Chains A and B, each alone.
Chain A
Amino acid sequence: MIRLKAQHVDVKFGSRAALKNAGLSVQAGDVVGLIGPNGAGKTTLLRVCANLLKPRSGEVLFEDQPLADMNARTRARAVAFLPSGAPCHWPLEVYRLVALGRHPHLSPWENRSPADLAAIEDALELADAGKFRGRAVDELSDGERARVMLARALAGQPRLLLADEPVAGLDPLHQLKVMEVMAALARKGDSVVVTLHDLALAARFCNRIVLLDEGHVKAEGTPADVLSAERLASVFGISAVRGDHEGLPYILPWSAAERPPR
């Protein structure tokens, strides 16, 4: 089943085109990695897919239905958006912050049901954030905070998780753990789109990769197809060491490429 399909998406900020005829397609069970240099349009495309940004043209379909036409609460239950930088304006208690993720399942004056509480517990456990439950979010380290925010997004039990740089600032163990959570969601039949700067994680955990450069989709496909040496040189301006381990490709950015990017 096609979970999300965005096509011919154009976005302009002032006179600068942020996305030009961009798109992506996400199947049930996919972990799609959205990669590209700074300013390539990754976050912009992710926000379009979350219906947070209305493109100038193009369409976004969620399970064959126009995303923008969906009822706001139905959409919020189906699609979760995890912003980068883990913003939280007040030092809320972790449990209560994660519980905010249940809002799409509550009508305006309704209290949390046992099912809601169970979903919150599952999310805390899945994101390995349960042990912070009673702490204020401003007392946590960046990595701990990122996991709490992931738990918040998971608490709504979305069928599609859109995560903007969820591993930024995390230690290696928790980078792997966060990516494993994404993989676990995909195994359940849910879908994930994740923007990443770490090509090694992208190659290791994503079954599909979308490479963006200056608002264009440069390539889309399996990690092996997309992360070719030529593309790494032309888009990122790097050369990388690559190989196979336990049957999976790995990639290690090694040096600036001979030929600088345009």
Chain B
Amino acid sequence: MTRGWKLTALLSLVLATLAVLSLFAGRVAFPPGEIARAVFAPGDIAEAVDIIVWDLRMPRTLLAILVGASLGLAGAALQGLLRNPLAEPGVIGVSTSAAFGAVVVFYSGLAGAFPIALPLGGMTGALGAVALLILLAGRNPGVLTLILAGVAVNSLGGALTALALNLSPNPYAAAEVVFWLMGSLADRSFEHVRLAIVFMVPGWLLIFSARRALDALSLGDDAAASLGFDLRATRWLTVGGVALAVGASVSVCGTIAFVGLVVPHVLRPLVGFEPSRLLPASALGGAILLVVTDIAVRLLSVGIELKIGVLTALIGAPFFFALLVKLRRVMR
């Protein structure tokens, strides 16, 4: 117990520090006093500082925390549910489907008409993916069926997105979508933060409500069921929670790869491999990773904006290679 609290406290402290630091990171440098005054006494400061801190940097930092936490949590939950260290939100097809939902909104022109359309399109895509999963895998699927159905949903989402790009009326529209799909936290407002929270918090709660069942699943399906857990409920609570959290993330920020894979994997040994204790740790770890990456994006973007999804993938892919090499040795 104590060990768990120490790690949570440490990760929270790191996250808080980084969040504060991220308010200083950007193209325009301000002295710390100015930023502090902008945060605590908005009104009484030069308008430029006020706007940059409150309208640009603050929502961006908050979104980095929310999206990072959602991705980390979703990855940890899916790895626990599927009992596979290589699982991540992508394997059940939710990310791709949410992206497709958003792309449809782009094309229909609704995105320009009212800002809430994009997140709604993304959420519709994510929940549609879950509906399709249930249809494909049945109501009480085994782990393998769930993964296979996820692969199928994933490829369908990818194919439909490609089709949309293929049929795009002009190269400019296609480029806009491609850039959006790369994932970015730039130019987001508190409106995006609010929209994300509305879907993410219920998703987090669904995932946390399955936490003890995820522990029991370490012992296999039969042992977990004999301990009184409803495995069907556990599967759909987790998948539904992941769909809400990841769907909301993709809806406001595009697809951000590898956070859900890398973070739980790094933290797992620190929590004694227990799925339930990995959940809060991974949420905090995901938030930390995304805030750090976003700071890096702000510092490295000179002229052209470096997309955060590109950077996480660049860090994540080599990590994935290392993970595979290590697993090759450990597993059979």
Contacts and interface: CB of A to CB of B under 8 A. Distances in A.
Interface of A: 47, 50-52, 72-73, 75-77, 79-83, 87-93, 96-97, 100-101, 103-104, 106, 108, 136, 149, 152, 156
B32 interface: no
Given A100-B215, A103-B212, A52 B227 contact: no
Interface residues of B, number: 22
Given A96-B272, A96-B274, A89 B228 contact: no
Contacts of B227: 76, 100-101, 103-104, 156
Interface string B225-263: 111111000000000000000000000000000000000
Nearest to B217: A89
A90 to B, nearest CB: 4
Among A92, A101, A136, A152, residue most surrounded by chain B Cβ atoms (within 10 Å): A92
A207 B136 CA distance: 48
A190 B226 CA distance: 17
Contact of A76 (B83, B220, B228, B268): B228
Report, nearest first, the 8 A-B pairs whose CB atoms are least far apart.
A76-B228, A81-B226, A90-B273, A89-B83, A87-B220, A73-B228, A72-B228, A104-B228
Nearest to A164: B222
A52 B228 contact: no
A91 B216 contact: no
Contacts of B220: 83, 87-89
B293 interface: no
Contacts of A104: 227-228
B284 to A, nearest CB: 20
Contacts of B273: 90-93, 136
Nearest to A93: B272
Contacts of B230: 72
B8 interface: no
Contacts of A149: 219
B209 interface: yes
Given A89-B83, A91-B273, A83 B222 contact: yes
B212 A108 contact: yes
Contacts of B222: 47, 50, 52, 81, 83
A91 to B, nearest CB: 5
B218 interface: yes
The residue in B83, B212, B219, B275 that gathers the most chain A C-beta atoms within 10 A of its C-beta is B219
Given A75-B228, A104-B227, A89 B272 contact: no
Given A79-B226, A156-B227, A87 B219 contact: yes
8 contacts: A52-B225, A83-B220, A90-B273, A92-B273, A96-B272, A96-B274, A103-B227, A152-B223
Nearest to A95: B272
Nearest to B83: A89
With most chain A CB atoms within 10 A of its CB, the pick from B227, B230, B272, B275 is B227
Q: Which of B230, B268, B274 has the largest count of A CB atoms less than 10 A from its CB?
A: B274
Nearest to A53: B222
Contacts of A76: 226-228
Contacts of B272: 92-93, 96
Given A83-B222, A100-B219, 12 more contacts: A47-B222, A76-B227, A79-B226, A81-B226, A83-B220, A87-B220, A89-B219, A90-B274, A92-B272, A93-B273, A100-B216, A103-B229
Contact of B218 (A50, A92, A108): A92
B94 to A, nearest CB: 23
Contact of A52 (B212, B217, B226): B226
Interface in B114-136: none
Contacts of A82: 223
Interface core residue of B218, B226, B227 (most chain A CB under 10 Å): B226
A81 B228 contact: no
A33 to B, nearest CB: 20
A100 B218 contact: yes
B228 A103 contact: yes
Contacts of B274: 90, 92, 96
Contacts of A97: 218-219
Contacts of A52: 222, 225-226
Contacts of A72: 228-230
Contacts of B223: 81-83, 87, 152
A76 B275 CA distance: 21
A75 B268 CA distance: 32
A120 to B, nearest CB: 14
